[in-house]
Amino acid sequence: MKLAHLILAHAQPDQLDRLIQALQHPDADFYIHVDRKTDLEAFRNLLKHRNVYFVKKREKVYWGAYSMVQATLNGFEEIIASGVPYGYINLLSGQDYPLKSPDFIHDFLEKQAGTQFMDYLSVMKEWQEAIPRVKKYHLIHYSIPGKYALEKLLNTVLPERKSPEKLTFVGRSQWFTITFEAVKYIVRYLKEHPNVSRFFKMTWGVDELVFQTLLYNSAFKPAMRNDNLRYIDWSEGKASPKTLTVADEALLRSSGKLFARKFNSTTEPEIMDILDAKFLTV
């Protein structure tokens, strides 16, 4: 089974190189989207790997904005255009790292063929803090003067936004592992429903909503497993997860996940060394 790793990166090319090396497999390819705000030259060394491709259409990615979704879609489209019949597409950040060997990961996904691995909660039930994301107008995606004053005005004078196409909103973590057929469905759906794209462009934190929502409201819903196969520690209560260290080894070992985030090879390389020695061999 062929596996395409789509990696969204903006910094630390050496750490990204280490991630690619850790995931090397005869049936793996790597598609790297480098934020257009970042100099691509710093990442050119990655092309030493036979199976690394840069996503040509690069986006300037901003936290919370649709640009994160667009960067992912650009990667999807390039993967589809390759003509390679991938079994799964695995969305990673440049700060992720595997907890299992490439052989284990490929065997696991082959045995689970057809399952969509994503975290998702109902926005209207279990994840109500996300309701303002879809009910209110957010202009974070748009580069227009005075956009936040305009945003406030829109939310004062206009009624709450309605779900396009009567979609039921679900979401949570933006990172996932889904089938090639699901990826093709997402790309096709957004092209055929520009009203849905417009809606999500006015949604804050949309990268945590759009992909799960589209599959949840489709024939892929029965195949969705509420597990994105990733260990992520939000215990610090910050906007981004905890940087993992050697103190987290026991939790990583017992997590049962295939990947974890986030790591920093500059400040905390020891935990990645431990993973290489103890986990990637199984």
The residue-averaged pLDDT of 263-275 equals: 95
Q: Cα separation of 119 and 212, whole Å?
A: 8
pLDDT class of 16 with cuts at 50, 70, 90: very high
Q: For all residues of the chain together, what is the average pLDDT?
A: 96
Q: Do the domain assignments include residue 183? A: no
List of residues 6+ apart from 50 with CB closer than 8 A: none
How sure is the predictor about 279, in pLDDT bands with cuts at 50, 70 and 90?
confident
Neighbours of 91 (CB within 10 A): 23
32-54 pLDDT, tens digit each? 999 999 999 999 999 999 999 99
Is residue 209 assigned to a domain? no
Q: What is the pLDDT of residue 248?
A: 97
The CATH number covering residue 98 comes to: 3.90.550
Residue range 243-269: mean pLDDT, rounded: 96
Counted domains in the chain: 1
**Does residue 281 surpass a pLDDT of 90?**
no
Range of the domain at 253: 3-113+229-279
Tally of CB atoms within 10 A around 136: 17
Assess contact for 32 and 102: CB atoms under 8 A: no
Q: What is the DSSP string of the chain?
A: --EEEEEEESS-HHHHHHHHHHT--TTEEEEEEE-TTS-GGGGGGGGGSTTEEE-SS-----TTSTHHHHHHHHHHHHHHHT----SEEEEEETTEEESS-HHHHHHHHHHTTT-EEE--EETTTTTGGGHHHHHS---TT---TTHHHHHHHHHHHSPPP--GGGPPPEE--S--EEEHHHHHHHHHHHHH-HHHHHHHHTSTTGGGTHHHHHHHTSTTGGGEEE--SEEE--TT-SSSPPPP-GGGHHHHHHS--SEEE---TTT-HHHHHHIIIIITT-
CA distances from residue 28 to 43, 145, 274 in whole angstroms, order as listed: 19, 44, 23
Q: Over the stretch 44-90, which tens digit does the pLDDT of each residue have?
A: 999 999 999 999 999 999 999 999 999 999 999 999 999 999 999 99
pLDDT at 206 over 90: yes
Q: Is the dihedral of CA 200, 205, 207, 208 positive or negative?
A: negative
Does the pLDDT at position 20 exceed 70? yes
Let me know if residue 34 belongs to a domain: yes
Q: Is the pLDDT of residue 131 over 90?
A: yes
Percentage of residues in the chain with pLDDT exceeding 70?
Answer: 99
pTM over 0.75: yes
Closest Cα partner for 86 from 171, 13, 174, 25? 25
User: What integer is the mean pLDDT of 259-265?
Assistant: 96
Q: 199 in a domain, yes or no?
A: no
Calculate mean pLDDT across residues 189-199. 98
Residue 186 within a domain: no
pLDDT over 90 (residue 280): no
**pLDDT recorded at residue 259:** 98
Name the percent of the chain lying above pLDDT 90. Answer: 96
pLDDT band, residue 239 (cuts 50/70/90): confident
Q: Nearest CA to 258 among 123, 100, 48, 150? A: 100
Task: State the sign of the Cα–Cα–Cα–Cα dihedral 101, 102, 103, 104.
Answer: positive
In a domain, 85, yes or no: yes
Q: Is residue 192 part of a domain?
A: no
Question: pLDDT band for position 111 (50/70/90)?
Answer: very high
The reply to whether 108 falls in a domain is yes
| 282 has pLDDT over 80 | no
> What does the DSSP assignment read for 68-89?
HHHHHHHHHHHHHHT----SEE
